[in-house]
Structure 1
Amino acid sequence: MQLSIYSDKNYLPKGMEPVPMLYPFWTEFIPSEKYPWSRLYGKYLEISNSLFKMTSLQEADLVVMPINWRVIRGESWRSKINKEVESLSIEFAEKVANSGKELIIFFAGDCCVEEIPVKNATVFRMAVYRSKRKQNDIIMPSFTEDFVKEYLGGQMSLRHKSEKPVVGFCGLAVKDSWEKKLKTVLFHGAMLTKSLELGVSPYKGQILRSQALEVLAESPSLVNTNFIIKDKTVFLNTQDVEQRQKARAEYVKNIVESDYILSCRGSANYSIRLYEILSCGRIPIFIDTDCVLPDESIIDWKKYCVWIDEKEIPHIAEKVAEFHDNISDQEFLDLQHECRKLWKSRLSAEGFYTNFHHHFSRK
């Protein structure tokens, strides 16, 4: 199904890029540096004209705000809100409201659970809290490169079921401390200064990961562990290309050499790792922190994950072992294929945009 969409470059501040959905129609904004853009959106670019058609405001089915609200809000809770761009975007929203058309706003990044000062828009976010979700909030995946294509030579590596499950994790996990408590106080102070809801500490995910990993490591009779625990995000913070590549290779190797991989929220209430795990055809151990996942009305997420409520972390090893014991050798192999298929068909950029119209046909 092809949707007619409208947006307006006049509401895109100079030097800023539009939301990726609009790249195929405003090709002058496609980054000249193809990595990582081409790895994330290349296939979407190839099929975009069969999915969307740029048209006038009067003829449009949907209107797309040209800028991601993340640019306005900033990348983290420490960021200052860009009032100038916010004012321009609200002006665009008012123009759309007067037309009676449905407005779509994309809000990615670590602050994406926050409210925005635009009424009656459909907001595609990477995260919300289930207990506070609004009717107009739609959860979208965090797009990741195709790990099988980019790192595994295009061939998915399958694992056969062993007696005990191998649980993997490579990444940041830090125990609770007075330093984290102090940073949380500073976070709450910053939220009050911005007149925003206090929210959940951005350090919660690091602490929960540490708790879960500790329980798993102390349960050798139930699970085997394959952990590489870091105290800083090497991949994101380093400018050294060789070091980044080494860190990425280590990360992918850890996923591929594990049966199940721990997936827990980061600074925001979502996990990029979840989509990377599925891309590899591996089974996530998903820690539910009042989360909403993409397409929950269609996808039975508990079929693809070992589902652990946050309060069940003390029993995570038993839960993983129980899941593993209750699945046959063939079902274990099949589930790896199904995880990969789910990512390709619905959670990759091309899968998400191919199914974009379903979010509106169900309203």
Structure 2
Amino acid sequence: MIKLYTDQSFLTEANRKVVFPLLFDLWYLPNTILLEKYQLVDSVESCDIAVIPVDLAHYGTTKMIHSFIQKALHAKKMVWVYSAGDYGQTLTYPVYTFRHGGIGSRLDKSTFVLPAFISDPLKHLGHKFESLHKESKPQIGFVGHANNSVSKRIKELLIYLKYRFDKITAKLKTDAQPFYPSSSKRFKLLKLLADDGNVETDFIFRKKYKGGFTNQQDSNQGTTVFFENIDRNPYTFCLRGAGNFSVRFYETLAMGRIPFVIDTDFKLPLNHNIDWKNHCVIASEKQVVQKLLSFHNSISESDFKKMQVENRNLWLNFLEREAYFLQVYTVFKQKINEV
């Protein structure tokens, strides 16, 4: 059992959307399996780990954050912080930070990347997992926001300039992020694949994020089209959005398919015990077509199917929400025992 202390006054209905995900599973909708591993206690002195209860941006002032962390460190306790959103924030304190993305080469070993916590896509489609056969040409799919229009490029630049202004004026406290026009980048890289005769592509380009659907029925249908595309293609093209991570990456793994992901200096979850090169194909922007062809031509039919099975199991056992925090438990139980 790992004992967690937090400021429970923040565990309110108003904070449901910004609370540390594990605390949500222990407090709001109690998960009986996780409650066998984690226990909330009422004092920092009796805990193993002190947890700032909500996203750093919603906890309050810098003084409040400093006070909470210093109180825990003075009691010789480990500290967890949660930095949500596209960018995330690195603190200078000796704490463990849980976040979705960031520039991988700038993140240290105390950073734990959170997967995108998604529902099982196969349940949405209503069928069981089956691996696909290897064809002579790589088959790669994509459904999503990919737009190279001048207006879109201007919009992405304006959004980034607003982010920079908010950061300079201290309205937004996040790590610095370079400009990355993800929609137009996506369009250009997808076109390279589509124009190559050695690659079979199955692309549906959307001009707006999530298709721009305005009603639930259209949104549900769009989701079905999205997952059907992943299901029928062994590879799915994955590229970061505003933040340096891809939700599609995790959806592809959950469906037992192979993410073909563009290297944008990202960090992946649990990389201390997951050998990620066995579960995805990572390509630089300059070698998109070459990397896909090289990988596909070098893998055997049996290993091709095995990789799909292992990707489905990886999501079930490491990246699904409950499974992820069970893995985190194992990591920190060892750290506690070593103290």
Amino acid at match of 2:185: L
Name the structure 1 match of 2:123. Answer: 149
What TM-score comes out, normalization by structure 2 length? 0.88
Segments of 5+ residues of structure 1 without an aligned counterpart are: 31-43, 73-83
3-state SS of the aligned residue for 2:39?
strand
Partner of 1:123: 97
State the AA in 1 paired with 2:177: G
1:168 is paired with a residue whose SS is: strand
1:321 to 293, 318, 334: 293
Q: Give a deviation string over 1:130-170, Cα, whole Å, max 9, x none.
A: 221234322221111111233233x1032111111111000
Is 1:230 aligned to 2:202, yes or no? no
1:173 aligns with 2:149: no
What is the aligned partner in structure 2 of residue 354 from structure 1? 326
Separation in 2, partners of 1:187, 1:145: 30
Aligned counterpart, 1:62 = 49
2:225 is the alignment partner of 1:253: no
CA distance in 1, matches of 2:44, 2:163: 41
CA distance in 1, matches of 2:231, 2:45: 50
SS for the counterpart of 1:277 is: helix
Change in 2 beyond 3 A, CA 1:186/1:70: closer
Output the amino acid matched with 2:187.
S
1:255-334 equivalence runs, <5 A: 255-309=230-284, 313-334=285-306
Q: For 1:29-48, list aligned pairs within 5 A.
A: 29-30=28-29, 45-48=31-34
**1:15, 1:185 → 2: CA distance?**
30
Are the equivalent residues in 2 in contact too, given 1:283–1:304 (CA < 8 A)? yes
| Consecutive unaligned residues in structure 2, runs of 5 or more | none
Q: Please tell me whether residue 240 in structure 1 is matched to residue 215 in structure 2.
A: yes
Q: What residue in structure 2 maps to residue 138 of structure 1? A: 112
Q: 1:150 to 1:122 in 2, by over 3 A?
A: same
Counterpart residue number, 1:343:
315
% of aligned pairs identical? 26
1:265-297 CA distances to partner (integer Å, 9 max, x unpaired)?
111011111110000000000111111111222
Q: CA deviation at 1:90?
A: 4.2
Does 2:179 align with 1:219? no
Measure, in 1, the Cα distance between the counterparts of 2:149 and 2:63.
Answer: 39
User: Does the C-alpha gap of structure 1 residues 210 and 16 become closer, same or farther in structure 2, counting only changes over 3 Å?
Assistant: same
> CA-to-partner distance for each residue in 1:48-90, whole Å, 9 max, x for gaps?
1222122242221112211122545xxxxxxxxxxx4665444
* Shift of residue 350, structure 1, vs aligned partner: 1.3
Q: Deviations over 1:171-217 (max 9, x none)?
A: 0112274514444344333322228664222x432232122101101
CA distance in structure 1 between the aligned counterparts of 2:7 and 2:159, rounded to whole angstroms: 40
> Equivalent residue for 1:205?
182
Instruction: Look up the equivalent residue of 2:261 and give its one-letter code.
Output: F
Cα separation, partners in 2 of 1:5 and 1:198, compared to 1, 3 Å: closer
Query: How far apart, CA to CA, are the structure 1 residues paired with 2:262 and 2:305?
Result: 23
Q: Is the 8 A contact 1:175 1:207 kept in 2?
A: yes
Greater displacement, 183-192 / 160-169: 183-192
Structure 2 match to 1:19: 20
What count of residue pairs does the alignment treat as equivalent?
327
2:143 touches 2:205 (CA, 8 Å); kept in 1?
yes
Task: Specify whether residues 71 and 5 from structure 1 end up closer, same or farther in structure 2 by C-alpha distance, changes over 3 A only.
Answer: same
* C-alpha spacing 1:98/1:14, structure 2 compared with 1 (3 Å): farther
- The answer on whether the counterparts of 1:9 and 1:66 sit within 8 Å (CA) in structure 2 is yes
- Asked if 2 retains the 8 angstrom alpha-carbon contact of 1:3 and 1:61, the reply is yes
Say what the alpha-carbon RMSD is for the aligned residues. Answer: 2.4
For the structure 1 residues 262 and 91, does the alpha-carbon distance in structure 2 shift closer, same or farther, using more than 3 Å as the test? Answer: same
Residues in 2 aligned to 1:103 and 1:267: alpha-carbon distance in whole angstroms: 28
- Distance in 2, matches of 1:356 and 1:182, equals 38
Contact 1:216 1:223 in 2 (8 A): yes
Q: Residue 21 of structure 2 aligns to which amino acid in structure 1?
A: P
Q: Cα distance, 1:332 vs. partner?
A: 1.1
Aligned amino acid, residue 6 of structure 1: Y
Tell me how far apart the structure 2 counterparts of residues 239 and 88 of structure 1 sit (CA, whole Å): 40
| 1:189 and 2:168 aligned | no
Higher deviation after alignment, 4-13 or 240-249: 4-13
Secondary structure in structure 2 of the residue aligned to 1:144: coil
Query: 1:21 offset after TM fit, Å?
Result: 1.0
Q: SS of the residue aligned with 1:295?
A: coil
Q: How far apart are 1:24 and its partner, in Å? A: 4.3
Single out whichever of 285-294 and 207-216 deviates more from structure 2: 207-216
Q: Is the deviation greater in 131-140 or in 141-150?
A: 131-140
Question: Which amino acid is the alignment partner of residue 282 of structure 1?
Answer: R
